Every structure is written in structure tokens, then in C-alpha cells.
Amino acid sequence: MKKRVFKKWIPVLAVLCLTAGLLAGCGGSSAGAGKSTASGVEADGGSTQAESTGDSKQVSDGQKTMVIGDTTFNAENWEETVDPHRTYNGWACIRYGIGETLVHYTDTMELEPWLAKSWENDGNLTWTITLQDDVYFSSGRLMDGEAVKECLEHLLANHDRAPGDTKITDIQADGQVLTITTSEPNPALMNYLGDPYGCIIDVQASDFDKGIVAGTGPYVVTDMKTDDHLSLTKNENYWNGTPKIDKLTIRTLSNGDTLSAALQAGDIDAAYGMAYEAYPNFENDGFQFSSISTSRAFFASMNMTSPVIQDPAVRKAIAMGINKEGFVATLLEGHGVPGNGAFPDGFSNFGGENVKTETYDPKEAEKILEEAGWKDSDGDGIREKDGKKLTIRWLTYPSRQELPLLAESVQASLKEIGIEADINCTANRREFLADMNSWDIYASALVTAPSGDPQYFFTTSCLPGMSYNFGAYENEKVTSLIDQLATEFDPAKRGEIAIELQQLILDDNAYVFCSFLEMNMISRAGVTGYTAHACDYYQVTADLDIE
């Protein structure tokens, strides 16, 4: 029998989708290599595969090694480096044990101390954060208030989202105490500082040109090549336990068949992003699964600048024409739950059970299209209006294995109501997203509440001009409520606002939330400490070990 370590559903699902689609078009450019300031190990810049073969993980010099295959450490997923101050590169920094944040998320998405041992707010603009004592960066430098101040100031000067999220205007350091002032009340500040971009790094010892940083985590980068591998060695200065792996390699294996074959052959010891169809290969005593429900949503964003999408009847019919239950049950083989709102059912006090959305009803969808003038006048099964076929250009990408499957499901179900879905599943999605005339619907994966708080999704995805508002959605009432949410400290009132916001965007049919996924991480039987977490941040910790 296989061994499964399951974490039950908790009030907050945080997110993760296992990814295993074919990665096309990603370059193999190097992100650079250099000396590790913590260990003095020279980066060799070469292949690390010699360390990743065979059953024995004890190399000739007595050091313990381990290799993890991962589908997401690549440029397609905005993880070109481990520099948390670049876009979404912080995910790699925190996942692979390089950096840590001031606060840590439990698997119920509650905040607990990490690099900060306490924090308090004066009810308005001022936060006082007390840091842990005797924490050292991998560079050997003490993590004191001044070092953290330097890090946060560098973050605010270089990151695209952090200034708007945190609203920090001033930072003062006095020993191990930070005093932070915001431009307006920001009840979610500590949640945002737990985001991967909030990894605390030694700015003076980091090489930002190469994307290699010195953090406080259990591992140190010795070599990195984007879209290929990341080589790590244990941090001899680690403050919170003793790392058990001497040399750790993260191999980018974006092809699902390659990932499965590598784990079966013993070329890797653990895998992140395994394709569902490969699971039976590992349902035996030689392997183990760590599973948890998450808030990673697979959803469709409507391009509100597209003439066909601007027709409310078309948007509504599409929302009613997507068979979410069939997608989850059949193509995902039950590994997830159908979506309703922006957050899963049971998620804190603002879960999807609190809102109403269109349900799968192809007959009603057909009626709506007929009444709006979309008719199949030539009998080819596709509706048209004013001489124009009802064709939807569906843009998505392959590195999240669920997305090509969703495209397949949508294409079939929309055809039943007379809508043709023209699928463009490409690793070069950024190029198409930049051209608003090239697509009508963009399907993507997003952790909607990575901090356990609703504000992140709405600020990134529903405000005009923000990073994840790909479809240029704009609603004045939504914008006003987001502003209200940003300054509301009361958790109950925040939940009420989040529910109202979800209902507004659902009433506009600006988004269709198709499913939320269960995350599975698979490892060989001798691996311990390789555990799935609701926030999807802490893949590599000091507890990671291998027999």
C-alpha cells in the first residue's frame, strides 16, 4: 500500500496546483553563478546530475545529498532566480529554504512568529516589530533591525507589488526593534510581510545581478541555471535547527513524463508537480504522498476590451456552459473541488458558500444566447450574430497541468451550447497577454489568499492597472469596496466586504472560478520532512532528510 500523509481540510485552503504540462519555449539562459558567501563553495556551473542517480545518497566524502524534481522553477512561472525582490522570484527563495519571512503561516493560515518574535499595531499607522535574537544570515552577518530595515527598503525600491501592498512610508531600527509607519491604516501589513517577497535577506551580501541572495534559511545557493537546476548546500550558520542534507539539488523537470520517469528510476528523490495520470506509478510501498487542500484557484478572466466578451449575454452563457463538476471529477480524477467564488467553501468567514454564481445549465445558456441574437443559422453547430461566428479565443499555459485539461473540458462543454473555443495553450503567454487583441479569455492558476486574508486577490486582480487584472476589469463599486477593505481592521467586517466583493465580480461574470486543487508532493519512502503546506511556501526546511 502507498503511504499517504493527509492534512484535513481547514478553514483556509491555500494553494497549489501540481504542474506537469509540457514546457515549451522557455529559454535556458543562465541566471548566473558565483561564490556562496556562507560556505565559500565555488559554483561549478555544471550539471548536478551526478549527485542524483542511484539509491545511495551517501557520496564518497560522507556527505548526504538529495535531488528534488520540480515543474515550477522556471521563467514561465516568473521564477527565474531566487531574488525575492524580483516579481515572483520570492517563491523559489522561500520554497527551497534560502529565505525566511518575519511571520510564518500555519496550515490553518494563521500567523505565528518566525524571524519576528512579536508585533503590535497602535490601531492606526504605526507597527512595532521585535526581531528574534541570535539569527544570522548565511553570509555570517547578524540579523538585526538595521539589516532588516535595509532589506525592506531595497524591497520597496525594487519590487512591483510590495509598495502598494504594504503602504510603508518609514522604517526605523533600534537594536532588534523595528518601527514601521504606513501611509494609511493597513491591517494586512503583517500578512503581506509573510508573502515570499518578504524574505529577509542580507542586501550587502546578495548578488542582485545574478539573482542569488543571502538569506536566513537552512540552505545556501552555490549554483543556479534558470530552467535547469538550482544547487544548494546547508547553511552552517542556521539559527533554527541543523539542516540534515549536505547538498541539495532542485532540478527543473517541466515535462510530466520526464518527472515521473526520473522519480521511478531513482534519479530524483522527491517530486513537486506530478501529473495525475502518473500517480498509480507511486501507489506502492516505495513512495509516499503528502497531500493538502489549497486555495489555488483555476479560473477564467474575461477580456473586457474584447467586443464579443463585452456582450453580457455571452459572458453569462460561458459561465453557465462550463461544467466544473465534470472537469474535477473526470479530468482531475477528483483531485480538487469545483469553484464557486474567489475562495473555496469553508475558507475563513468569506468562503465560496457565501456567494451565488452561475451553475452548469447548458439549456439556459442556449436560451440566453438565442434571446441575445446569437443563432446557428447555417446549421454548423456554432452560433453567429451579424455575420460573425461566436468564437472565443481561450489563452492558457501548460506548466500547470490542470490548465490544458481545463481547456479541453471547456472546449467540449461550450461547443454543446454553440460556442467555439479556439485554444492557445502556450508557454509564451506573456507575449499574448500584452496584446489585448489576441485573446478573449485567459485561464490561469492563482493562490487567491496566500496570506489567509482576502485583500490580496482583490487588489491584484480586480483593480484597474494591477498586475493580475489581465482582462482590464473595472467596476467603480468594486474599487470603492477594495479601498474600504484595505483600511478595515475588524475581521468580521473584512469578511463581509470580501463576500460583497465576490458577489459583485460574479454578477458581472468577469471571472469564472472553475476549481480549487488538492496539492500532492511525492517522495521516496526513505525521505522525511517533505511535507505539503497550505500556503505552498515551505517545501524545503531543516527537517528535510533522507535515509
Domain 293-518: give its CATH superfamily: Dipeptide-binding Protein; Domain 3 (3.10.105.10)
**How far is the C-alpha of 238 from the C-alpha of 139, rounded, in Å?**
10
**How far is the C-alpha of 509 from the C-alpha of 430, rounded, in Å?**
23
Strand ranges (E), 309-463: 336-338, 384-385, 388-389, 391-396, 420-425, 441-447
pLDDT of residue 52: 37
What is the mean pLDDT of the segment spanning 159-171?
95
pLDDT (tens digit per residue) in 465-494: 998 999 999 999 999 999 999 999 999 999
Please check the confidence at residue 371 and state whether its pLDDT lies above 70.
Answer: yes
Which residues 6+ apart lie within 8 Å of 400 measured at CB?
Answer: 17, 19, 21, 298, 444, 445
Q: Which range is least confidently modeled, 358-362, 364-368, 420-424, 465-469?
A: 465-469
pLDDT of residue 467: 83
Which residues 6+ apart lie within 8 Å of 40 measured at CB?
Answer: none
What are the start-end ranges of the H helices in 159-200?
162-166, 189-193
Give how far Cα 300 sits from Cα of 71, 90, 148, 330, 471, Å. Answer: 22, 25, 38, 19, 10
Q: Strand 270-272 vs strand 65-70: parallel, antiparallel, or unpaired?
A: parallel
Please check the confidence at residue 20 and state whether its pLDDT lies above 50.
Answer: no
What is the mean pLDDT of the segment spanning 498-514?
98
Fold: same for 65-286+525-546 and 293-518: no
Q: How confident is the model at residue 57 (pLDDT cuts 50, 70, 90)?
A: low
DSSP-derived letter for residue 33 is: -
**How far is the C-alpha of 28 from the C-alpha of 538, rounded, in Å?**
26
What is the mean pLDDT of the segment spanning 156-183?
97
Domain 65-286+525-546: give its CATH superfamily: Periplasmic binding protein-like II (3.40.190.10)
Count Cβ atoms below 10 Å from residue 208 Cβ, excluding itself: 15
Please check the confidence at residue 18 and state whether its pLDDT lies above 70.
Answer: no
Percentage of residues of the chain with pLDDT beyond 70: 89
**How far is the C-alpha of 259 from the C-alpha of 434, rounded, in Å?**
31
Query: What 3-state class would DSSP assign to 492?
Result: helix
Q: How confident is the model at residue 333 (pLDDT cuts 50, 70, 90)?
A: confident
Residue 358 contacts residue 511 (beta carbons within 8 Å):
no
What is the mean pLDDT of the segment spanning 44-62?
43
What is the mean pLDDT of the segment spanning 336-342?
94
pLDDT (tens digit per residue) in 278-312: 999 999 999 999 988 888 999 999 999 999 999 99
Query: What 3-state class would DSSP assign to 362?
Result: helix
Average pLDDT score over the chain: 88
Q: Apex CA 175: angle with CA 172 and CA 179, to 5°?
A: 30
**How far is the C-alpha of 173 from the C-alpha of 358, rounded, in Å?**
51
Which residues 6+ apart lie within 8 Å of 490 measured at CB?
Answer: none
pLDDT of residue 19: 33
pLDDT of residue 526: 94
The grid coordinates of residue 333 equal: 480524477
Please check the confidence at residue 41 and state whether its pLDDT lies above 50.
Answer: no
Per domain, the residue ranges of the chain are: 65-286+525-546, 293-518
What is the mean pLDDT of the segment spanning 516-532?
93
Please check the confidence at residue 164 and state whether its pLDDT lies above 70.
Answer: yes
Please check the confidence at residue 60 and state whether its pLDDT lies above 60.
Answer: no
Nearest CA to 317 among 368, 274, 278?
368
**How far is the C-alpha of 296 from the C-alpha of 16, rounded, in Å?**
5
What is the mean pLDDT of the segment spanning 256-284?
93
Q: How confident is the model at residue 446 (pLDDT cuts 50, 70, 90)?
A: very high
Give how far Cα 299 sits from Cα of 57, 98, 339, 512, Å. Answer: 41, 31, 8, 5
Please check the confidence at residue 56 and state whether its pLDDT lies above 50.
Answer: no
pLDDT of residue 400: 84
**How far is the C-alpha of 476 from the C-alpha of 480, rounded, in Å?**
6
pLDDT of residue 418: 98
pLDDT (tens digit per residue) in 122-156: 999 999 999 999 999 999 999 999 999 999 999 99
DSSP labels, 431-488: HHHT-GGG-SEEEEEEES-TTSSTHHHHHHHSSTT-TT-TT----HHHHHHHHHHTT-
Give how far Cα 511 sits from Cα of 166, 304, 340, 414, 472, Å. Answer: 26, 10, 10, 16, 12
Q: How far apart are the first and last CA of the chain?
A: 20
Q: Strand 103-105 vs strand 388-389: parallel, antiparallel, or unpaired?
A: unpaired
